[in-house]
Amino acid sequence: MKVAVVGATGMVGQVMLKVLEERKFPVDEMLAVASDRASGRMVRFRGKDIPVVGMEAAVAAKPDIALFSAGGGVSLEWAPRFAEVGCTVIDNSSAWRMDPTKKLVVPEINGQLLEEGDRIIANPNCSTIQMVLALAPLHKAYNVQRVVVSTYQSVTGTGMKAVAQMDNERKGIAGDMAYPFAIDRNVIPRCDVFTDNGYTKEEMKLVHETKKILDPNIRVTATAVRVPVTGGHSEAVNVEFEKEFELDEVRRLLQAAPGILLFDDIAKDEYPMPLVANGRDEVFVGRLRRDETQPRTLNLWIVADNLRKGAATNAVQIAEQVVAFVDRRRLANVRS
């Protein structure tokens, strides 16, 4: 099994390598891929230094699976070229998510949709993944009608430059700015760029991706905010259902749902926080309570490590499902 990580020197790419190693993914040959200016650098995988190669060299090597985390422009240009040589691409950018010919996958929810012919598979946005994972069992039971979500998103979602900006500000050091404002001791009600309707692209990702993954009839409105933390994204979610619910049954559904960890004991001050989720693959859910202003409506608080389940781990979980397809293709080639 030949695996490429495209964007291997970036923040998500580094976590992809770590998750592949932790989950003992069947890698016989690892290709660490980045832009030409990063060629020659080394990354660590399974205790060894792996040289970084450029895109052309990676395509020529014909990997079986490529995990992309190098931005939408790179994905639009290069994912089809990898696919043309028989590689299955799992892309972490927004490039292919809303393409009707591409599947947008959270394995616990809709992994069964994957087919052998899928050559480019889209990984959802980090804030979408954690929200829909918590909503999926509730939608099945009560039929979600409307979602109002406010996100509190880690600087790690922007990348290394944003983390460096926050660290520099805390040390009183001047440096490059990832944001137009200070982020330390501040919150910025803007994630990504603004669109014509006044919402940011991040907010509209929550709208469109939730509809594609769960149900096109769900109405979603979002406010996405950058906060000066690392370790994970947090979300305050208000959900209106078609059917009535009981809180005890909601808890049972969430406890039984794969990938969810219910962390909801206010008597013990137990509720999800980035400090709790950091380095973990579970999506943490807590602060469950009825909205007392209208019927059939639930408030919940959702936190997950945006670099892991929100990006790298979800991509690797998709790759784990793809392995069976790859093995079948390789066996067919041997027989032919």
What domains does the chain contain, in order, with CATH numbers?
Answer: 2-95+311-335 (3.40.50.720), 127-305 (3.30.360.10)
pLDDT range class, residue 336, cuts 50, 70, 90: low
- The pLDDT score that the predictor gives to residue 139 is 98
CA torsion angle 297 220 136 295 (round to 10): 10
In this structure, of 39-43, 150-154, 156-160, the range with the lowest mean pLDDT score is 39-43
Residues 6+ apart with CB under 8 A from 276: 263, 284, 303
Q: Are 220 and 210 in contact (CB under 8 A)?
A: yes
- 309: its two tokens: 């389940």
pTM above 0.75, yes or no: yes
Catalytic residues: 126, 233
* pLDDT digit string, tens, across residues 184-209: 999 999 999 999 999 999 999 999 99
- The pLDDT score that the predictor gives to residue 256 is 98
Q: Tell me the percentage of the chain whose pLDDT exceeds 90.
A: 94
